[in-house]
Amino acid sequence: MAKINLKLLKIEAKKEIKKTESLDYLNKIFDKYLGKKGIVSEVLRSLKSLPQTKRKKTGEAANDFKREIGELIEERKKIFQNAGYKIQDTHFDITAPGKKPVSGHLHPLTLARKEVEEIFENMGFSVVEGPEMESEWYNFDALNIPKDHPARDQWDTFYLENGLLLRTHTSPVQVRYMEKNNPPLRIITIGRVFRHEATDASHEVNFYQLDGLMVGKDVNVANFKAVIQEFFRRFFEKPVKIRLIPSFFPFVEPGFQVDMTCLNCEGKGCSVCSQTGWLEMMGAGMVHPNVFKNSGLNPKFWQGWAFGMGFDRLAMMKYKINDIRLFYSGDLRFLNQF
Ligand SMILES: [Zn+2]
């Protein structure tokens, strides 16, 4: 008989088994290789005629082939059985229960993000991004928070061995953008930020922030009110009012806290808004002259507003979710509701 290369034969057999679509065909493969008249039996029978030196080696290889290919065929058989095929029945069982294909869907934060981006884009804003690993300069100094400033305590973060840190807000993107682009400009950033703190229902070590900036020759607080009120109205699909309350943030002057009419009671007062009719939504203000200077713009020529808010919180209010940790838990019972 012709010399048989068992190594090559094994590769071929494996391919054939993988391609099988029916038990019938699988049985044929078995016969071809491992059956009484199969190739391996033929090899074993021919051992007698081989020289003593080759006999042992070839015998071992043949048995090895028999064992390995036999196992693969058995495995393949089991797949057919589990899938509803019946042994000795080559027909597809149309009465077997169907298998629903698992199709994925977007995460609630992604859904909210797409919606926010679309609203701002329709108002002439560009969506920009920046690095999550940031330098101290962009994260703090450039935003008018020098090393000894007490505000740094509020934004404790993770300092990395390479000298960088995980950004505590998306505002560094504003500075990076102003360095490279001349006003007038309108941008928003939605991105992941980090805080070194204990987690609870409303705090996570990493969460998302929405950050906006508008700069021009005469951009003012009235523009800010109009844009933000319109954003909330479109996002929550309800008419809303906003109010500004004086507040302090190092990177703006003047700064204000922005409240929105409570969506739950529409301003009448309820437990969600502690009976005030208002919900605190974001921090904002007119861009501080030092921030312009640090970004390479002359504050004598340019003015603008900026805001920053917790993006998770926005999504939580939209979808009425009461625990921020649900977004990151990977729990399908939660995620499949979207
Ligand atoms: Zn309320």
- Our answer to whether residue 275 is catalytic in this structure is no
Q: What is the CA(81)–ligand 1 centre distance, in A?
A: 59
pLDDT 10s digits, 273-303? 889 999 899 999 999 999 999 999 999 999 9
What distance in Å separates the CA atoms of residue 267 and residue 294, rounded to the nearest whole number?
41
**Given a cut of 90, is residue 234 above it in pLDDT?**
yes
Calculate how far, in angstroms, residue 318's C-alpha sits from the geometric centre of ligand 1. Answer: 14
Q: Kindly state the average pLDDT of the residues 174-178.
A: 96
CA torsion through residues 152, 153, 157, 160, sign: positive
pLDDT score of 181: 95
- Regarding pTM above 0.85, the answer is no
- C-alpha 277 – ligand 1 centre gap (Å): 5
pLDDT-derived band at 76, boundaries 50, 70, 90: confident
Any catalytic annotation for residue 209? yes
Would residue 226 show up in a list of annotated catalytic residues for this protein? no
- Report residue 84's pLDDT band, with 50, 70 and 90 as the boundaries: low
Q: What is the CA(279)–ligand 1 centre distance, in A?
A: 8
Element (H, E) at 126: strand 126-127
43, 116, 155, 173: which is the annotated catalytic residue? 155
Of 123, 338, 160, which is closest to residue 235 (Cα–Cα)?
Answer: 123
At 88, the pLDDT band (50, 70, 90 cuts) reads low
The alpha carbon of 264 and the centre of ligand 1 are apart by a number of angstroms equal to 5
- Of the residues 209, 302, 305, 313, only one is catalytic, namely 209
52 is a catalytic site residue: no
